[in-house]
Amino acid sequence: MEIRKLGRTDMDVSWLGFGAARIATDTGSPAKAERLLNALLDSGVNYIDTAPCYGESEETLGTYLSHRRDDYWLTTKCGHQAGDITAPEWTADAVTQAVDQSLRRMQTDYLDLVHIHTCELEVLRRGDVLCALQDAQQAGKTRYIGFSGDNDVALEAIGMGVFATLLTSFNVVDQGGLAEVLPAAEAAGMGIIAKRPIANAAFNRPASPYSYADAYWQRAQHFTVPEGAPADGAALAVRFCRSFDYIDTAIVGIDSLAQLQENIRQVDAGPLPAAALDSLREQFQRHGADWPQLT
């Protein structure tokens, strides 16, 4: 498993990260979730992304991985209303409560990284949410703070110079970040995490796999698989992301040992052939140059 430095942090992260949004539901049983989570760590995957609003994701991670806390980087988010938070959404009190609840759910006394979870530009500029997260950092509840977002609000966050990382949408049908967001984040020394790197498994599929993937599936109808690229849409998407040095880690939802092994195989296969990558870039410029990053 390739390991990369996450920006200017001290976090050496696996290129293949784990998006734990659906770990409590898609694995089918607690026993399968436990086996998968431990297999992830045993295979070298050491970056785990979750959020309080992802159902029972945080509780599941705490139950099955807290005994291996030194084996992985644990990252979550704050801002959206979830769980037992009593404060209004997108307030300093809500952020403070969210961080404290995440610590309890995941059975840890510190988090490695907390992202502000895709807020509006006005929230970011108001400053109280950021101050609350910085207070949590000062108190030792999180080692680093980051921003999750896209388009103009991502550029605003980058320009503030206070975030260690950027979690942003990037995949074969969501290439808009290449114009400004990814270069700006790299120039600022931020660690860059790709979210939705396999386009919600919607590429080269006969139908959208589920409603959350509909927008990506509609975009994908404008693309054809170029010669030299994998016919399997998820495999192509992984290798597309692997083709860009901007990305330090890409968080992929994995719900079985077979999926884990296949994702590792595609990561190990490396970038797409140059001609195939050029074709996919040209197809995006032809059909989607005005498509914004999906939030």
| pLDDT, position 87 | 81
Domain positions in the chain are 3-286
DSSP the chain: --EEE-TTSS-EEESEEEE-TTHHHHTSSHHHHHHHHHHHHHHT--EEE--TTSTTHHHHHHHHHGGGGGGSEEEEEESS--TT--SPTTSHHHHHHHHHHHHHHTT-S-EEEEEEES--HHHHHH-HHHHHHHHHHHTTSEEEEEEE--HHHHHHHHHHT--SEEEEE-BTTB-GGGTTHHHHHHHTT-EEEEESTTGGG-TT-SS-SSGGGHHHHHHHTT--PPTTS-SSHHHHHHHHHHT-TT-SEEEE---SHHHHHHHHHHHHH-SPPHHHHHHHHHHHHHHHTTPPPP-
Spans of the chain below 50 pLDDT: none
Task: Give tens-digit pLDDT for 79-114.
Answer: 887 777 788 889 999 999 999 999 999 999 999 999
Q: What pTM did the predictor assign?
A: 0.96
Instruction: Write the CATH number of the domain with boundaries 3-286.
Output: 3.20.20.100
Q: What pLDDT does residue 82 have?
A: 76
